[in-house]
Amino acid sequence: MEFLAPDHGVIARRELILSGLAEAVGADRVISDEDGRRAYETDALTAYKCMPLAVVLPRTTEEVSAVLRYCHANGVKVVARGAGTSLCGGALPAADAVVVGVSKMNRVLDIDFAGRTVRVESGITNLAISAAVSPEGFFYAPDPSSQLACTLAGNLAMNSGGAHCLKYGVTTNNVLGVRMVMMDGEIVDFGGPQLDPEGYDFLALIVGSEGQFGIITEATVRIIKSAEGARPMMLGFDSAAKAGMCVARIIGSGIIPVAIEFMDRPAIKVCEAFAKAGYPLDVEALLIVEVEGSEEEISERLAQIVEIARPLNPSSVTVADGDEQAARIWKGRKAAFGAIGRLSDYLCMDGTIPLSALGQVLDDITSICKSHGLKVANIFHAGDGNLHPLIMYEANDRDAAHRAELAGAEILKLCVKVGGCLTGEHGVGVEKRDLMHVQFTETELVLQLRIKAVFDPLDLLNAGKVFPLDVKVAPDEPAGDAAHAA
């Protein structure tokens, strides 16, 4: 049996990098042992794994700056990480990259109730922001299903939304300013507590950039006064097409609920078994519609929605009769991914579609998965057409995993074909990287690469993500120079 000799050059470089990182921020901030690094080898897209060169857990913006300054000077790749809940491989490390995790940076720095803003460190969890302001009757609106665990850093990277984004918008609609450390260590503030600061709107570019431009360490976010009350209702239908028509008619009437969520029969069955929320089990599609306001406003709006749905002959109509039932209804929806995960491994897609295409797309998704010998459960934010098909497969079966990936790619291509896009809130990461050709032309992708090069000319930040590997800037137009000309 032949054994490969260790590459002493690689080992020596790694030891040099570890020494440099320890000198920059202290050895207690650096994780270098194999067991410690293994905890960071994947994110929520667990089909992909890679052990990072090292992990650094800074506690201040200045420490992040010191790490990036060292890595920039020595050509070391960097992958930013929040809580690792990315479903697209956005926080997947590389063997020659240092993971910089911001989870230790989780403080609330300032609360301005009069101005309705909060300044926080980016490692704070999504739910912790609302918890910090709820005693005064405020909340932070974006609410991904993983809000108990996911950090604001990841929400900013992927422009996360959630069930209530229909009324309150996604992350980019709720962030006023960020402090970001550039790859060379420079600390830059973009935006601020003002609603519309002077200068270029870099925030619109940065939010959703998937760690390609820098590492965000602080953010100023909007908080909203809690409504007097809120109540969900459930509408069951004998077809997905009718549920889709109901959504379109509700929004077309001028009513904007706080949330409209969709589940198909497989998802309903699994979530009801987990949450005991009273979901109807004899329907093909279920809508959860929530409205808010005074008790009088809530009753009036729910009655209007019932009248809008009536011509579509809903199989069941259930209005939450109190806080306990309302909590169970949302518990089922929020825990849907985990509930299905108890039964099977799955890939969660994230394409968006026009609501007019809903019925046909859901039928096509079922057909696509069936053609690959796989089952699927559909859950999504119906108000903005953000699909979350959960393709179930056996992770230890390589063939099944491959078939799941093929089915997922077909579903995302279908979304683009009907006028939607590849991702609504999960991001591109590794999962959809090669599918970017489906949505964008070569010219558009090259332009995006040039924009990245303005912020990261050496391509050290989250390299190998978002952009197809075969897309290059023209040889006679180096990335850095091309970016400045763009």
Q: Are 486 and 444 in contact (CB under 8 A)?
A: no
Contacts 24+ apart (CB under 8 A), 437-441: 437/468, 438/412, 438/413
Facing residues of 101 across strands? 81
Determine the pLDDT at residue 244.
87
Concatenating the DSSP letter of every residue in 143-187 gives B-TTTTT-BHHHHHHHT--BTTHHHH--GGGSEEEEEEE-TTS-E
Name the average pLDDT for the chain. Answer: 92
- Report pTM: 0.91
Domain-wise residue ranges, the chain: 1-226, 230-337, 344-436, 442-485
Contact 395, 47 (CB under 8 A): yes
Looking at 131-135, 276-280, 365-369, 468-472, which range is the least confident one?
276-280
Residue 7 binned pLDDT confidence (cut-offs 50, 70, 90): low
Architecture per CATH, 344-436:
2-Layer Sandwich (3.30)
pLDDT at residue number 483? 38
Greatest mean pLDDT among 121-125, 192-196, 354-358, 472-476 lies in 121-125
Q: Return d(Cα 311, Cα 295) in angstroms, integer.
A: 26
Confidence grade of residue 337 (pLDDT, cut at 50, 70, 90): confident
- Check pLDDT > 90 for residue 47: no
> Residues 169, 173, 175, CA angle at the centre, nearest 5°?
135
Q: What is the mean pLDDT of residues 245-250?
A: 91
User: Given 3.30.70.3450, 3.30.429.10, 3.40.50.620, 3.30.70.270, which CATH number is that of 230-337?
Assistant: 3.30.70.3450
> Which is more confident, 12 or 370?
370
pLDDT per residue over 399-429, tens digit each? 999 999 999 999 999 999 999 999 999 999 9
Distance CA 467, CA 436 (A): 7
pLDDT of residue 8: 58
334 confidence band (pLDDT: 50, 70, 90): confident
- pLDDT of 111 higher than 90: yes
Cα 77 to the center of its chain, rounded Å: 23
Q: Is pLDDT of 25 > 90?
A: yes
Please state the rounded mean pLDDT for residues 273-285. 90
Please give the residue that has the higher pLDDT: either 359 or 214: 214
What three-state secondary structure class fits 25?
helix
Q: Summarize the confidence of residues 156-182 as an average pLDDT.
A: 94
pLDDT of residue 485: 38
The CA distances from residue 316 to 34, 264, 285, 303, 329, in Å, are 54, 14, 10, 14, 15
The pLDDT tens digits of the residues spanning 290-299 come to 999 999 999 9
Q: What is the mean pLDDT of residues 249-270?
A: 92
pLDDT value of position 278? 87
* Matching fold, domains 230-337 and 344-436: yes
Q: What is the pLDDT of residues 192-203, one digit of tens each?
A: 888 777 788 899
Quickly list H helices, 231-376. 240-252, 265-275, 295-309, 323-334, 336-341, 358-371
Which segment of 118-132, 213-227, 261-275 scores lowest on mean pLDDT? 261-275
- Distance, CA of 209 to CA of 215 (rounded, Å): 10
CATH code 3.90.180.10 for 1-226: no
- Confidence class for position 474, pLDDT limits 50, 70, 90: low
Residue of higher predicted confidence among 164 and 104: 104
Measured between alpha carbons, how far is 397 from 118 in angstroms, rounded to an integer? Answer: 46
Burial grade of 126 (CB within 10 A; 0-12, 13-18, 19 or more): buried
Q: What is the mean pLDDT of residues 451-468?
A: 96
> Does residue 43 surpass a pLDDT of 90?
yes
